[in-house]
Structure 1
Amino acid sequence: MKKPDTLSTPGAAIASYTAIGDSFTEGVGDPGPDGTYVGWADRLAVMLAEQHPRHELRYANLAVRGRLLDQIVAEQVPRAVELAADLVTFCGGGNDILRPGTDPDAVAERFEEAVAALARSSGTVLIATGFDTRGVPVLRHLRGKIATYNAHLRAIADRHGCLVLDLWSLRSVQDRRAWSEDRLHLSPEGHRRVALRAAEVLGVAASGRAEEPWPPEAVRTPADARRENIQWAREHLVPWIGRRLRGESSGDRVSAKRPDLLPLP
């Protein structure tokens, strides 16, 4: 199948879109009114639908929180290949990189095998890099590991003709308000910024800019920061460590929210 020329034809019509990945693409941190997570991929789907209102967009989101790359490859990639959408967004490997002892080179090799399969069956494949974690407590020590993985992802995109959603360079998500209370997932505004950046990469018109300035924030004292850190550790860090020790995942017993290519409501 010939890929749409989204680079030379900004806003080229996309009639179908499949998103695969983990909690980031499922939309954790961005709850909707019915309790289902929204997230950047759902927001991007709306932008795509608004770009060409006369053409009904069909959208599937196969992402499930907590999934490791091998699980995404086994559970989601075959379905995405079967659906053969005009656009596939693929973000995976982040949960692997967070685990001690994982080799970003080995993770990237498995990622590339999946990208090759998606590129053969779908129109345009867009892959997302990891975020720059320099300002994120606990995760800042993984910055070099994430950067190594990102370098692989950019090379993979180049080899297979994919677009890149470069989240490392997205400065607006360095603001703490872009992140939810657990400091691992984006807030609703963070998801909106990522969706806007994805729209920019695809050449899709949107009402807003990914790097639009944040409004002024109230001054926080060192005492405020200490209280927030203690609350975060008690409510989020300790339970996260407990799940790791028990071999549990936040995605256990969770299934994809949009397993089929269906029109948006």
Structure 2
Amino acid sequence: MRPANVVPTRRSRARAVGLAALGIAGAAGAITLWWRWLARRRHHWSTALAEAIPVNSAYWREQRAGPGELLYVAVGDSAAQGIGASRPGHSYVGFIARTMAAASARRVRTVNLGISGATLRIALDDELPVLARLRPDVLTVCIGANDIADFDPARFDREVRELLAALPDHAIVADLPSFYFPPAQAKVRAANRLLRAAAAERGLTVVPLFARTNRQGMWGVTTQFAGDLFHPNDRGYRIWADVFRPAVEARLEQLDGASREPARLPPLP
């Protein structure tokens, strides 16, 4: 005769295994639902933000036509255009232009050459020819994030060198921002090594956009991005502008000359 406790023990084990399987299945189902929700959310926001592209472009065309004693030019992509911000002027370009005006007490004419979706190749073909006709007092360059989706190290190195070779010596270049999650993050790190090496050979200033954004971590992901989880929001763009601040401040000091009191940028609005 079997001990009385043998059958219940086997049943208990079977029940535990069944409950564990149900738990795993439930968790997998919840994750699947979450990813579907996230995909729908990103699609919704991507569509909504795409509708902002012509609005932002029109805004920057107006800024370009305005008067100014200082000429600020930006080479970039949709981040320069301010996609994801509550308004076009809340891109990092807008924040930099306003703080320049406040610091120098001079009107700043802003020429934003950024093109939404621009890669290095697009910047070379469409933005640099316009830049060649300008003599900016301050020039910021933030481009290359759109090259990460189809990252080719040899092509990136070739094109970033071609881009940097065409810039004036006072250009302020940002490395690529953090993408936070693998495998894109590994590509960004590789791209930044190439960018920094090319900039060092030219003697160009590189501001640490990657280090600053990466330091924000998951808190930054949840508070500093627009709904598509790719473009920054107003908070994110303020951080981007703040990364440029020391180099822009140094450039304004050069423009002011050694005999004048150095200009100091006020806190971001």
**TM bracket (short chain):** 0.5 to 0.7
Q: Does 1:22 align with 2:77?
A: yes
Please point out which of 123, 130, 133 is paired with 1:72: 123
Q: Does 1:162 align with 2:204?
A: yes
What's the CA shift for 1:70?
Answer: 0.9
Q: Does 1:45 align with 2:100?
A: no
DSSP-derived class of the 1:164 partner: strand
Percent identical: 24
Q: Output the CA distance in 2 between the equivalents of 1:156 and 1:86.
A: 23
Partner residue, 1:190: 236
What's the CA shift for 1:165?
Answer: 2.0
What's the CA shift for 1:61?
Answer: 0.3
What's the CA shift for 1:183?
Answer: 0.6
How has the CA–CA distance of structure 1 residues 72 and 159 changed in structure 2, closer, same or farther, with 3 Å as cutoff? same
Q: Does 1:61 align with 2:115?
A: no
Partner residue, 2:266: 206
Q: Output the CA distance in 1 between the equivalents of 2:166 and 2:84.
A: 30
Partner residue, 1:262: none
Tell me: higher relative CO, structure 1 or 2? Use CA pairs within 8 A at least 6 residues apart: 1
What's the CA shift for 1:106?
Answer: 1.7
Q: Output the CA distance in 2 between the equivalents of 1:62 and 1:15.
A: 16
What's the CA shift for 1:208?
Answer: 5.0
Partner residue, 1:143: 185
Which is further off, 124-133 or 177-186?
A: 124-133
Q: What RMSD in Å do the two structures reach over aligned CA positions?
A: 2.0
Q: Output the CA distance in 2 between the equivalents of 1:104 and 1:17.
A: 31
Partner residue, 1:125: 171
How has the CA–CA distance of structure 1 residues 93 and 75 changed in structure 2, closer, same or farther, with 3 Å as cutoff? same
Question: Where does structure 1 lack aligned partners over 5 or more consecutive residues?
Answer: 1-13, 210-265
What's the CA shift for 1:49?
Answer: 1.0
How many pairs were matched up? 183
Question: Which amino acid is 2:206 matched to?
Answer: V
Question: Which amino acid is 1:15 matched to?
Answer: L
Q: Output the CA distance in 2 between the equivalents of 1:66 and 1:37.
A: 19
Question: Which amino acid is 1:205 matched to?
Answer: L
Question: Which amino acid is 1:107 matched to?
Answer: F
Partner residue, 1:116: 165
What's the CA shift for 1:151?
Answer: 0.9
1:169-200 Cα deviation digits (max 9, x unpaired): 10554312111111101011100111112112
Is the CA contact (8 Å cut-off) linking 1:26 and 1:38 kept in structure 2?
A: no
Q: Output the CA distance in 2 between the equivalents of 1:179 and 1:44.
A: 19
DSSP-derived class of the 1:144 partner: helix
Please point out which of 159, 173, 179 is paired with 2:225: 179
DSSP-derived class of the 2:72 partner: strand
What's the CA shift for 1:201?
Answer: 2.9
How has the CA–CA distance of structure 1 residues 113 and 41 changed in structure 2, closer, same or farther, with 3 Å as cutoff? same
User: Computing the radius of gyration over CA atoms, which structure comes out larger, 1 or 2?
Assistant: 2
Normalising by structure 2, we get a TM-score of 0.63
Is the CA contact (8 Å cut-off) linking 1:20 and 1:89 kept in structure 2?
A: yes
